[in-house]
Amino acid sequence: MEFPPTRRTPLVRTCPDSGEGPWNELLGILAPAGTPPPFDVVEEDLFGGWPVERVVAVALEDGLAGRHRLLYVVDEPTLTDHGFPVVAADLRDEPGRTFRIAAAALARLPGDGPPFGAFADHAELQPDRVFRGFP
């Protein structure tokens, strides 16, 4: 399988489109009106029902790391949690390592911030294992 081409970090969804519900709310948090999104949404329904691990494995096998250092995955737990914890996957430094990041925190991340591992390590210390920001 070939991963769809994107110019910016890809954001893929593994659960059905929820219309005007949580999916659109999540996109509004990640890219508020008038703000360009920091990612490209993969619109194709290629990953429906896939576990996050499988999506990340396919991205790595397809060489997506040559084009992007990260991959964002929206799965059912993302859309059913009020904080919309998106899965962030490292494709270069620690290929395949993932952690969840609250949508509001993801929207505030600078492009040249700390390395992926610092965010993932901090998320692992949280009771729900979701990164919401540094203290």
Amino acid at 47: F
Residue 89, helix vs strand vs coil: strand
pLDDT per position as a tens digit, 7-51 = 999 999 998 766 668 988 999 999 888 888 889 998 777 898 999
Alpha helices of 11-73 — where are they, by DSSP H?
Answer: 22-30, 52-61
What is the per-residue pLDDT for 112? 67
How buried is residue 91: exposed, middle or buried, by Cβ count under 10 Å (0-12/13-18/19+)?
Answer: buried
pLDDT per position as a tens digit, 84-135 = 999 999 999 999 999 999 999 998 876 667 899 999 999 999 999 999 999 8
The model's pTM is: 0.93
pLDDT per position as a tens digit, 51-85 = 999 999 999 999 999 999 999 999 999 999 999 99
How buried is residue 134: exposed, middle or buried, by Cβ count under 10 Å (0-12/13-18/19+)?
Answer: exposed
